[in-house]
Structure 1
Amino acid sequence: MNTLITLIAIAVLVAVFLSMGITMIPQRRAQVIERLGKYHRTLEPGLNLIIPFIDRPRAITILTFKNDQPVVRTEDKIDMREVVLDFPSQSVITQDNVGVQIDGVLYYQIMDPQAAVYGTENLVLAIQTLAQTSLRSEIGTMELDKIFESRQEINARLQTVMDEAGNKWGLKVNRVEIRDIDTPQEIREAMNQQMVAERNRRATVREAEGYKEAEIQKAEGDKQAEIAKAEGQKQAAILVAQGEKEAIQNVMAALEGKADDPMAGVQYLIAQRYIEMLPELAKQGDRVFVPMEGTALLGSLGGMRDLFGAGAMSSVDSPAAPVTGSPTQGS
C-alpha cells in the first residue's frame, strides 16, 4: 500500500515537473531562457521544453505611454512585431532661435531578442531618449523655413542615426516621422504675411512676364509688317525701274539711225514725264512756276514728232491742265 502511494506521489511530481517545463510561445513572440543565471537559449514560437527551477525566462522591461502618461511593465515574452512608439512633444530651438514644439513617431522591430534583453536596461526608454536627442540635434542645425521644406530629409537622417544605434540593441528602426510642428502664434502670423507677400510677388512677376511677352510679340509683328512693306516697295521699285529701262531701250531702238544725238530719246522721255506731272502741279495753286529748262524740253517734242510720226506723239498732244505764268515770271 505504501509503495502504491509512493508511486502515485512520484507520478504526480513528475507530471507537475513536466507541466512546469512545458512552455508555449505564440507566433511572432520569443523568450530568452537563462540557465543558472546565464543565457542559455532563445525559445521560438511553438511548444518548448525547459528544466524547471534551473531554466528561467529573462523578462524585458517595456516603457509605454497611455494617455500621455508613461507606464513601465515587464514581459517574459518578447514581441517580435513592428511596434509604434509615439514619444511626447518636446521643445526645440531652431538655428534662427525660434522655439517650436515637435512630436514624432517611430516604428521599430526587435530582430535579436538576446541583444534586446541584455543590451539595455529599458529598451523603449533608450529608443525614446535617442530619438529625442537626435531630433534636437537635427532641428538645431536648421532654420524654421528649412524644417518645413525638409521633413523627408530630417526623417531619413533620424532613421539612419536610430538604425545605427539600434543594431547593438537588437532592433531595427523602420521609419521615423515628424508628426507635428507647433510654432508660436506670432511666428504663424509672420509666416502667413510672408506667404501672402510671396504670392503677390509671384502674381506681379507673372503679370510683368505676360506684358513683356505681349510687347515682344507685338514688336515682332510690327517688324515683320515693316519687312513685308519694304519688300513690297522694293519689288515695286524694281518693276518700275525695269519698265523705264524697257521704255528707254524701245526709244533708243526707234531712234537708231534717225537722230544725230543718241541722248535725244532720253530727253524725250524726260519731257514726257514732265508733261505728265503738269496736271498735278496745276492742282497745287492758281499759278505755277515753269522753269526755263521745262520750255526747252517742251520745244524738243516738235523734233520728236518728225522722228516718230504723229501717232507716237498722241500722248503729248492730249489736253493738259492750264498753266499760267511765264518762263521767267511767277506770282
Structure 2
Amino acid sequence: MNLLQSPAFLIALIVLVIGIIIVAKGLVIVRQSEVMVIERLGSFNRLLESGINFIIPFIDQPRAIAMIRYKRSGDDYIPIASFENRIDRRETVMDFPGQPVVTTDNVTVRINGALYFQIIDPRAAVYEIENVSQAIEVLAKTTLRSVVGKMELDRIFESRSEVNDKIQAAMDDPSNKWGVRITRVEVQDIHMPEEVEDAMRLQMAAERKRRATVTEAEGEKSAAIARAQGERESSILNAEGDKQATILRAEGEKQSIRLVLEALGSDPEDKRTVVSYLLGQNYIKTLPDMAKHGERIFVPYESSALLGSMGMFRELTGTPDAPNTPPDSGLARAAMGGAGFGG
C-alpha cells in the first residue's frame, strides 16, 4: 500500500495542518504604543503589550473598543464609528462640532473646540464605559456649556486660557473613572450673530477713537508744559542777564568815577565838584523821561547847585560851554530851581 494513502500519514498530515493553523491563529504581534484586551471564554484574561504574543485560538479572544471619530466635510462634521481590537495609547485629538452656548449677558454663540485625551487604563476604557469616545465628547460639550454659560461674552474673548483650564479641570474626575486622561482642551472658534459682531466693531472703533483723543490731549498737555517751562527758564535767564548787565554798568561807572577822582588828585573841593557834576549830568538825562509820563514836573531847588557845579567843572577842566540853550529847554528850566512848569 502506498505510504501517502495510509491512514497514519493522513492523520499526521491533518494534525500538522491543525497545528500550523493554531500557531498562525495564536501568534499575535502588537505594535509599539498599542495594547490588546484579551478575554478567555468571555472573561478578562490579560493585556497584550507590544511585541510577539501567543494566545489560544478560539478560546482567547480580543475585546474590541468602540470609537467615534469625526471627518470634516466643509462646515459639517461626519461621525464615523468603528470597533477596534487594538487600543492606541497615544494622545488622541477629538475635533467635535460647534455647540450653541448662551452667555450670562444673553448672547447665543457657537463654540467649536478640540479635545486631546489619552487612554491610560485600557481595561477600564473597555469595561467601565460602553463607548469611551462618545462619553468624552458628551462630557466635553456639557462642561463647555456649563463653564461658558457662567461668563460674559467679552470675558470669553479675553480669557480663553481660563475657559480651557476650567473645562479640563471639570472633566478630570469623570474621565479618570474611564481610564482616560484629558491632556488639553482648546476653544477654537467663537461664532456670534451678525448684529453682535456689528455692535462689537462699533465699540472697538469708539474705543480706538477715545484712545486717540486721550493720546492727543496728553501730547498737547506735555507740549504746553514744555512751553511753559521754556518760557520760565527764558525769563530767568533774561532776568539774570539784566542783573549782570546792571552790575557791570554800575561797576563801569564806579571805575570811571574812581579814575576821574584819582586824576584830580587829593583836593576835596575838586572831588566834590566832580561828584556834583556827575550827579547833575545823570539828573538832566532823566528829565526827558520824567516829562514823558505827565503834563507837569517839579524840579527841586538843589538842581541849581548841581548846574553850578557843572559850570565850575567846565571851568576847572577847561571844557567850552555848550551852545546856547533855548529858554524853554529843560536845562534852562532846571536852572530856575524849584519852579514848576508844564510838560
TM-score, scaled relative to structure 1: 0.84
Unaligned 5+ segments in structure 2 are 1-5
CA distance in 1, matches of 2:240, 2:164: 67
Q: What are the residue-to-residue correspondences of 1:1-20 with 2, within 5 Å?
A: 1-20=6-25
1:139 correspondence with 2:148: yes
Q: Confirm or deny: 8 A CA contact 2:276 2:310 kept in the other structure.
A: no
Aligned-residue sequence identity (percent) comes to: 48
Unaligned 5+ segments in structure 1 are none
CA distance in 2, matches of 1:283, 1:155: 87
Q: What secondary structure does 2:228 align onto? A: helix
Aligned to 1:193: 202
Q: What secondary structure does 2:150 align onto? A: coil
CA distance in 1, matches of 2:103, 2:321: 103
Q: Pick from 312, 320, 328: which aligns with 1:324?
A: 328
Q: What are the residue-to-residue correspondences of 1:26-175 with 2, within 5 Å?
A: 26-66=31-71, 68-163=77-172, 165-175=174-184
Aligned to 1:220: 229
Q: Confirm or deny: 8 A CA contact 1:288 1:324 kept in the other structure.
A: no
Q: Which amino acid aligns with 2:328?
A: T
CA, structure 1 residues 322+40, in 2 after alignment: closer, same or farther (shift >3 Å)? farther
Q: Confirm or deny: 8 A CA contact 2:90 2:118 kept in the other structure.
A: yes
Q: Confirm or deny: 8 A CA contact 2:277 2:306 kept in the other structure.
A: yes
Q: What secondary structure does 1:207 align onto? A: helix
Aligned to 2:317: 310
CA distance in 1, matches of 2:182, 2:171: 6
How far 1:49 sits from its partner (Å)? 0.5
CA distance in 1, matches of 2:115, 2:63: 26
Q: Confirm or deny: 8 A CA contact 1:288 1:323 kept in the other structure.
A: no
Q: Confirm or deny: 8 A CA contact 1:282 1:323 kept in the other structure.
A: no
Q: Confirm or deny: 8 A CA contact 1:112 1:170 kept in the other structure.
A: yes
How far 1:142 sits from its partner (Å)? 1.7
TM-score, scaled relative to structure 2: 0.81
Aligned to 1:207: 216
Aligned residues: 326
Q: Which amino acid aligns with 2:148?
A: I
CA distance in 1, matches of 2:223, 2:90: 63
Runs of 4+ in 1 over 4 A off after TM superposition: 247-257, 260-266, 277-285, 287-291, 303-306, 316-323
